[in-house]
């Protein structure tokens, strides 16, 4: 009888180990951050069916010289059911959670809070990047938290963090360290899908109040870049691209996405509350670059084409619209920013169609 009990215990342990191995294989099969986070949430929920998990993204914001932490809920998992960020409307966080986050950041360790009313324990796990920067927080609510469960969750988060770092490296341009073109389409598609999910007036109004409903794709191109390479050499040309990338990082916010689109072209994805705000961002970008003195080369200007990301059929249409606006800027003097919708309203360009391909005209 004792032998049978030991066998069952061994079988249960083996089954748990196999389940964990399968979970690890599932987590590391994705190359998209959101799918990776969702897979992690599914894994945790399946391993701890009676527990709740919330995964938060943490960003820092400079408010009048004071660095503040901002949390946004990415995934929620409970009893095997996982809800993604596009379906979550949790915007106000309880004070006790903000206190826990501050404590976890300061101590760089997991922290706990017992909830006697619900006979549960809240455990907060900080998640760091490979550079030891705070990236996110996992909130685990459990009525039977054990040392073994804490160690397992901590280990899974380390695997997630390490794998995320590898993904980040693979998505970076080797010269400028900006995001590369490989993930641009997926990021545009996410915005299009998000916009489609907020199509009714009430939801759109709520979203605009909360985070600004206007998303923009800004396509930037260095003017006369071929001339720089011909006159100064490719090493100077590469240095211009590197320094330009650093300037763009200084101009745009941390939450904005910057890509090297190819050659001397760059893309910025950002949000504003209005078209006027977007125009101000683009003009500030253009002026900042125009006033910067590149070592050995001097002044360099850029032309900018901008398209609003709404509910287009696909990312190629958005890129095509921005490309049309950029082409117009190039043809009409360079060193300016042009918005696709404005040009279209003025009858200066033809509408971008689904079958139109990227312009092959040489701007140099």
- Average pLDDT (209-232) is 87
197, pLDDT greater than 50: yes
CB 111 within 8 A of CB 88: no
- Average pLDDT (38-43) is 84
Flag the least confident range among 13-27, 111-125, 134-148, 209-223: 13-27
Rounded to whole angstroms, the Cα distance separating 125 from 53 reads 11
3-state secondary structure of 212: coil
Q: What is the pLDDT of residues 319-359, one digit of tens each?
A: 999 999 999 999 999 999 999 999 999 999 999 876 644 44
Catalytic residues: 264
CB 53 within 8 A of CB 45: yes
- Average pLDDT (59-79) is 75
Quote the pLDDT of residue 202.
Answer: 44
User: What's the CATH code, domain 2-170?
Assistant: 3.30.450.40
- Average pLDDT (39-53) is 87
Flag the least confident range among 83-97, 164-178, 223-237, 277-291: 83-97
Q: How far is CA 285 from the centre of its chain?
A: 21
Quote the pLDDT of residue 144.
Answer: 85
| Phi, psi (rounded to 5 degrees) for 198 | -115, 45
| Domain at 181-345, CATH homologous superfamily | Reverse transcriptase/Diguanylate cyclase domain (3.30.70.270)
As a whole number, the mean pLDDT across the chain is 83
Annotate 157-173 with b (16+ C-beta within 10 A) or e (fewer): beebeebbeebeeebbb
More confident residue, 95 or 208: 95
The neighbouring-strand residues paired with 138 are 55, 125
pTM above 0.75, yes or no: no
Quote the pLDDT of residue 84.
Answer: 66
Any idea where the domains of the chain sit in the sequence? 2-170, 181-345
% of the chain beyond a pLDDT of 90: 45
- Average pLDDT (26-48) is 80
Half-sphere CA count of 137, side-chain side, radius 13 A: 27
CB 184 within 8 A of CB 172: no
How far are the Cα atoms of 2, 20, 21, 51, 153 from residue 16, in angstroms, in the given order?
21, 6, 9, 17, 14
Task: Identify the sign of the CA torsion 301, 303, 308, 314.
Answer: negative
- What band does 361 get if pLDDT is binned at 50, 70 and 90? very low
7, pLDDT greater than 50: no
Nearest to 323 by CA among 265, 255, 253, 248: 265
């Amino acid at each position: 009888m004792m032998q049978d009990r030991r066998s069952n215990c061994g079988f249960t342990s083996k089954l748990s180990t196999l389940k964990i191995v399968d979970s690890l294989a599932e987590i590391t099969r994705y190359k998209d951050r959101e799918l990776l986070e969702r897979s992690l949430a599914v894994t945790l929920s399946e391993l701890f069916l009676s527990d709740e998990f919330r995964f938060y993204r943490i960003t820092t914001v400079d408010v009048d010289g004071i660095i503040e932490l901002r949390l946004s809920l990415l995934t929620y998992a409970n009893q095997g059911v996982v809800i993604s960020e596009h379906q979550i409307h949790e915007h106000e966080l309880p004070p006790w959670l903000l206190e826990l986050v501050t404590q976890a950041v300061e101590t760089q360790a997991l922290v706990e809070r017992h909830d006697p009313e619900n006979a549960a324990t809240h455990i907060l796990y900080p998640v760091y990047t490979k550079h030891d920067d705070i990236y996110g927080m996992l909130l685990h609510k459990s009525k039977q938290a054990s040392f073994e469960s804490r160690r397992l969750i901590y280990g899974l988060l380390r695997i997630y963090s390490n794998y995320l770092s590898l993904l980040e490296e693979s998505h970076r341009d080797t010269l400028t360290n900006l995001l590369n073109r490989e993930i641009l389409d997926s990021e545009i598609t996410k915005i299009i899908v998000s916009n489609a999910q907020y199509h009714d007036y009430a939801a759109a109004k709520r979203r605009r109040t909360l985070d600004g409903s206007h998303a923009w794709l800004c396509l930037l191109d260095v003017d006369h870049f071929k001339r720089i390479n011909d006159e100064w050499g490719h090493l100077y040309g590469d240095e211009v691209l590197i320094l330009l990338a650093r300037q763009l990082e200084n101009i745009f916010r941390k939450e904005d996405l910057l890509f090297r689109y190819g050659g001397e072209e760059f893309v910025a994805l950002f949000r504003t509350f209005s078209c006027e705000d977007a125009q101000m961002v683009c003009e500030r970008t253009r002026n900042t670059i125009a006033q910067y003195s590149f070592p050995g080369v001097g002044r360099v200007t850029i032309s900018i084409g901008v398209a609003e990301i709404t509910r287009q059929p696909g990312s190629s249409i958005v890129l095509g619209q921005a490309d049309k606006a950029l082409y117009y800027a190039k043809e009409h003097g360079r060193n300016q920013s042009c918005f696709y919708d404005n040009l279209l309203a003025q009858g200066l360009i033809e509408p971008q169609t689904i079958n139109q391909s990227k312009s092959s005209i040489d701007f140099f």
